[in-house]
Structure 1
Amino acid sequence: MRRLQMDGRTTATALAAEVGLTVAPCHRRLKELESSGVIQGYRAVLDAAKVGLAFEALVFVTLRDRQHMLRFEAEVAGIPQVVEALRLFGEPDFLLRVRAVDLAAYQRFYDEVLVGLPGVEKLTSTIVMKNVKDGGQLPV
Structure 2
Amino acid sequence: MRVRLDTVDWKILRELQADGRMTNVELASRVGISAPPCLRRVRALEEAGVIKGYRTLLDESALGYEVTVFAMVNLVAQAGSALAAFEAYVRGQPLVRECWMLSGDIDFVLKCVAPDLRAFQAFVAELTAAPSVRNVKTALTLRPVKDEAIVPAELPPPT
Q: Structure 2-normalised TM-score? A: 0.84
- 3-state SS in 2 of match to 1:66: coil
Q: Which runs of 5+ in 2 are unaligned?
A: 1-12, 154-159
> What is the correspondence of 1:34-53 to structure 2 with a 5 Å cutoff?
34-53=46-65
Give the paired residue count: 139
Q: Which runs of 5+ in 1 are unaligned?
A: none
- Deviation readout 1:58-114 (Å, 9 max, x if unpaired): 000011111211111121112111000011011101100010001111011111x21
> What is the correspondence of 1:24-35 to structure 2 with a 5 Å cutoff?
24-35=36-47
Report the alpha carbon displacement of residue 54 of structure 1 after superposing the two structures with TM: 1.4
**Separation in structure 1 between the aligned mates of residue 24 and residue 45 of structure 2, nearest angstrom:** 13
Q: Structure 1-normalised TM-score? A: 0.95
Report the alpha carbon displacement of residue 10 of structure 1 after superposing the two structures with TM: 1.6
Aligned to 2:28: 16
AA matched with 1:102 = D
**Separation in structure 1 between the aligned mates of residue 92 and residue 15 of structure 2, nearest angstrom:** 31
Give aligned-pair identity as a percent: 39
Aligned to 1:74: 88
Aligned to 2:7: none
Q: Which of 67, 70, 73 is equivalent to 1:61?
A: 73
- 3-state SS in 2 of match to 1:59: strand
AA matched with 1:131 = P
**Separation in structure 2 between the aligned mates of residue 131 and residue 80 of structure 1, nearest angstrom:** 21
Query: Higher relative contact order at CA 8 Å, sep ≥6: structure 1 or structure 2?
Result: 1
Structure 1, 130-139 or 93-102: larger mean CA deviation: 130-139
- 3-state SS in 2 of match to 1:104: helix
Task: Tell me whether 1:130 sits opposite 2:137 in the alignment.
Answer: no
Deviation >4 Å, runs of 4+: none
